[in-house]
Amino acid sequence: MKEVNQTDPIGQNAIKLISNVCFSVFVFSVLIFSVIAIAYQPPDPWESSRALTKVFTDVENATFHTDSSVLRTGEDVAYAPAASPVGSITESTIEKSEEALGKNVTLKPGCEDVDSSVVNCSDPRVLIAIQRFNLRTFKGIVFLEYQAPVNGTRPDECDVSWRFRNRKEKSWRRYRDFRRYRIGFKDDCSVKVVRAGRWHSGVNARRFRSRGNVTRSGQRARGAPPTVRDDEINDTIATLGSDSAFRGGKYLYYSRGGDHCKGMNQYLWSFLCALGEAQFLNRTLVMDLSICLASTYTRSGRDEEGKDFRFYFDFEHLKESSSIVEEREFRRDWRRWEKGHKANVPVRKVESYKVTPMELSKDKSSIIWREFAGGPEEKGNYWYRVCEGEAGKYINRPWQALWKSKRLMNIVSAISGSMDWDYDAVHVVRGQKAKDKKLWPHLDADTLPEGIVAKLQGEVAPWRNLYVATNEGFYNYFDKLRSHYKVHLLDDYRYLWGNTSEWWNETSQLNGGRPVEFDGYMRVEVDTEVLYRAKKKVETFYDLTKDCKDGINTC
């Protein structure tokens, strides 16, 4: 008889066992991943929520004390856009332009007819040469679009305007520069850039604002030059438009509480709590644009009322990313409704922060009004406390909705651009911290000019552009650095916020024609952002001194 071949039952069972194990591992992995995806919340970009809550929980002295630096906002921590977004100018787009040019433009057969002293700025080859020069020279920015070159003041000069964004900035905000270029010709008659002018040197390529430098009467100030238009700023206050639009809305209204006139970082932490609750409740936040600047940042040394939110932050982006209404406009519409209708608008007043957002989630009232009753010094009378405890699991602070003011960021771009985006920076913290020897025993000595020079010589190459971001008030304090570096300080750029500047004109218009002081918080915002864009950064508490940033034994 023939033997019958049979499959080995042991091998078959082993294969089944392995398959079952692999499938079980796969299912278990999917389950774990799903749980993580559901439960995970990205780290709060403002700082550790636990650490901030610990600072604020001390209601006897609930002031955020780290106002010597500016908390990161949405444009600093959002996901970075691609290095070369669609529509940006790259080497490949330039090559395509050259290919199209070769098909449509007949170049002269020789160089004998070319007058090197005269340049036709409308020649497409001029723009191509400038684009290629900019790509080689300014590697820290992404070029988005160019305007057609126009004549400069000399026959061999062309002025060009272009829009860009900084590679280190995570938002899609665009900025504009216009420069003057000296144009020449190579031996084969091709166009070359001999040299480029400085930031905003191509004045013939700029577009003027039709009503720049206006006074309160609406007339342009005598002798003041027209300003450059930034068409991308639109921080006008929206109106509801009709009674039905007002009555059909659902609103969350926060009255002033203990946060008023506290440090700016505490104000922001509280404001984003209010905005987060409004989003959780699917309501429109009633927002007071008038804020109080704490004495830390005022020249008078006193708290100053009546500062406009738009001086410091991007109101246009906030409007686009969140549902908000300005307080005065809201109250005006509210009064108009109740004057024209017998029925009052349903309002629920909430006096304690202990009433959680979850308890209000099913409330049908048109207006939920958190009053934060009591004087500003009442314990616990702070907006951010609404988001503490159990509410913290439901309320996410929408940090991505808050960007720094585009007007201040234009100053940042002007300072960075004046150094051709090719600079290093050192952050020197002194001020009150250097005087407090109990918390910072070595800081004063470690930030003396001689010590800074010794440290920088091992970090920064000689004669580099060096930006010094500092709260040291004495301008000449850093003179010893000038023997080694091209030193730049914020006060070197005072013309950017002086009385003939674009910033001056724009903020004055927001302020009813009254000049706006370039205050301490604005200075820190600009200093911080210029520091952030440096190629190499030397920090105080990580490089210059061994003292801890928040005092002794806090490292």
Distance CA 256, CA 278 (A): 16
The predicted structure's pLDDT at residue 43: 36
DSSP string for residues in 265-310:
HHHHHHHHHHHHHHHHTT-EEEE--EEEE-GGG-TTSS-EEEEEHH
In this prediction, residue 212 has a pLDDT band, given cuts at 50, 70 and 90, of very low
At 215 the pLDDT is 39
pLDDT of residue 334: 87
* pLDDT of amino acid 30: 57
Q: What is the pLDDT of residues 148-204, one digit of tens each?
A: 999 999 999 999 999 999 888 877 789 999 999 999 988 877 899 999 999 999 999
Confidence of residue 231 (pLDDT cuts 50, 70, 90): low
pLDDT at 530 over 60: yes
pLDDT at 518: 97
Q: In the chain, what are the domains?
A: 50-77+237-401 (no CATH), 91-205 (no CATH), 406-544 (3.40.50)
* pLDDT score recorded for residue 235: 80
pTM: 0.80
pLDDT above 80 for 211? no
Under the banding of pLDDT at 50, 70 and 90, the label for residue 99 is confident
Rounded Cα–Cα distance for residues 506 and 464 (Å):
34
Q: Which residues contact 166 (CB under 8 A, 6 or more apart)?
A: 140, 141, 142, 175, 413, 416, 421, 533
Mean pLDDT of the chain: 82
Task: Say what the pLDDT of residue 121 is.
Answer: 94
Burial of 221 (0-12, 13-18, 19+ CB in 10 A): middle
> Which range (1-15, 27-41, 259-273, 425-439) has the least confidence?
27-41
pLDDT for res 171? 77
- Model confidence at 249, in pLDDT bands (50, 70, 90)? confident
Give the confidence band of 283 by pLDDT, cuts at 50, 70, 90.
very high
CB-based contact 406:229 (threshold 8 Å): no
Determine the pLDDT at residue 147: 94
Q: Which of 57-71, 244-258, 323-337 has the highest mean pLDDT?
A: 323-337
pLDDT at 101: 76
**Alpha-carbon gap, residue 423 to 419, rounded angstroms:** 7
